[in-house]
């Protein structure tokens, strides 16, 4: 009985994909402009270094963290049935001070981000994502440290200047199984853009093509990592909210630098088998990045 249900579900899934692709095939070129899918504001490759002020873990010692992020495009393919975008993402944290909690020296993620956007009719679109990768203490990697998050987002281009998004992000095997992503992108003019989303919102002011001024917040960002086999706590979770302001500056038409300064609040470190959750004091941070279009 269970097997026949799976076959039936697979049939419905295949039928749904064929329906979406068919609808997209005739709607693709007549689709309205979507601020979320069509406005390419960010460089397609990026490298960022985050330097964070040392802070204190309640009841323990000092906590220090330096973070390196990078994104590299691997494949982009545009067809009548949709758009396929594939990239590699790196997010590595070096814990320079570990607060007496026996934290690992390095934790990070290395993911393959696969995203497929299907244009439907009347301004609607479907965006599907699959991001398999490693979420681990980097000096002790095991096969079961690989996970397979995926996401499904619905989009609606209400006007050429306003687009809406509602979606779910799934994290199988994580302590946090499900997260919501919802909001709107509103381009008031060529100079002013509001990204009103959860978990990240941002206001962008572009006085000219060379400069962009940004202010934003990333809310309750959770990073989760598997620990080495000999660590009975099994998994570590870092939580923080970021408030920031910064500028982007085009160096050439293909290259730009990005600078952010901000404050980290609502910070904590937690483990799967360890109570209670330990709060980390607020701290300042500096982020410097470079990116480009080729």
Place of tokens 């002013």: 192
Where is average pLDDT lowest: 10-19, 83-92, 281-290?
10-19
What is the per-residue pLDDT across 132-172, written as a single tens digit (0 to 9) for each? 999 999 888 888 899 999 999 999 999 999 999 999 999 99
Task: Count Cα atoms within 13 angstroms, Cβ side, for 158.
Answer: 10
- What angle is formed at CA 167 by the lines to CA 164 and CA 169, rounded to 5 degrees? 145
Helices (H), the chain: 2-27, 35-38
- Residues 125-130 have a mean pLDDT of 97
What is the per-residue pLDDT across 175-227, written as a single tens digit (0 to 9) for each? 889 999 999 999 999 999 999 999 999 999 999 999 999 999 998 778 899 99
State the chain's mean pLDDT as an integer. Answer: 87
Q: Which residue has the higher pLDDT, 288 or 294?
A: 288
- Residues 120-136 have a mean pLDDT of 95
Q: Please, what's the b/e burial string for 120-152 (b: 16 or more CB within 10 A of its CB; e: otherwise)?
A: beebbbbbbbebebbbbbbeeeeeebbbebebe
pLDDT band at 277 (very low <50, low <70, confident <90, very high): confident
pLDDT of 73 over the 90 cut: yes
Q: Which residue has the higher pLDDT, 111 or 26?
A: 111
The pLDDT value recorded for residue 275 is 64
**What would be the CATH architecture of the domain defined by 2-292?**
Beta Barrel (2.40)
The pLDDT value recorded for residue 23 is 42
């Amino acid at each position: 009985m269970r097997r026949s249900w799976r076959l039936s579900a697979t049939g419905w899934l295949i039928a749904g994909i064929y329906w979406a692709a068919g609808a997209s095939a005739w709607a693709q070129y007549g689709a309205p402009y979507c601020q979320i899918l069509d406005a390419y504001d960010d460089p397609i490759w990026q490298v960022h270094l985050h330097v964070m002020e040392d802070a204190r873990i309640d009841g323990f010692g000092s906590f220090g963290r330096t973070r390196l992020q990078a994104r590299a495009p691997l494949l982009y393919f545009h067809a009548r049935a949709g758009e396929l975008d594939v990239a590699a993402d790196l997010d590595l944290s070096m814990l320079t001070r570990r607060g007496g909690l026996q934290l690992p020296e390095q934790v990070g993620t290395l993911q393959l981000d696969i995203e497929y956007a299907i244009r439907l009719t009347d301004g609607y679109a479907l965006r599907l994502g699959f991001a398999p990768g490693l979420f681990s203490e980097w000096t002790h990697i095991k096969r079961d440290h690989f996970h397979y998050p995926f996401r499904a987002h619905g989009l609606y281009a209400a006007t050429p200047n306003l687009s809406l998004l509602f979606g779910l992000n799934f994290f199988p095997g994580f302590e946090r199984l499900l997260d919501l992503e919802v909001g709107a992108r509103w381009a008031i003019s060529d100079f002013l853009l509001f990204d009103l989303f959860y978990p990240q919102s941002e206001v962008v002011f572009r006085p000219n093509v060379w400069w962009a001024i940004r202010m934003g917040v990333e809310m309750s960002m959770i990073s989760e990592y598997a620990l080495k086999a000999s660590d009975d706590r099994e998994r570590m979770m870092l939580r923080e909210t970021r408030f920031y302001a910064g500028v982007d500056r085009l160096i050439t038409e293909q290259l730009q630098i990005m600078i952010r300064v901000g404050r980290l609040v609502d910070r904590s470190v937690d483990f799967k088998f360890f109570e209670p959750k330990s709060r980390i004091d607020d701290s300042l941070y500096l982020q410097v990045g470079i990116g480009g279009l080729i």
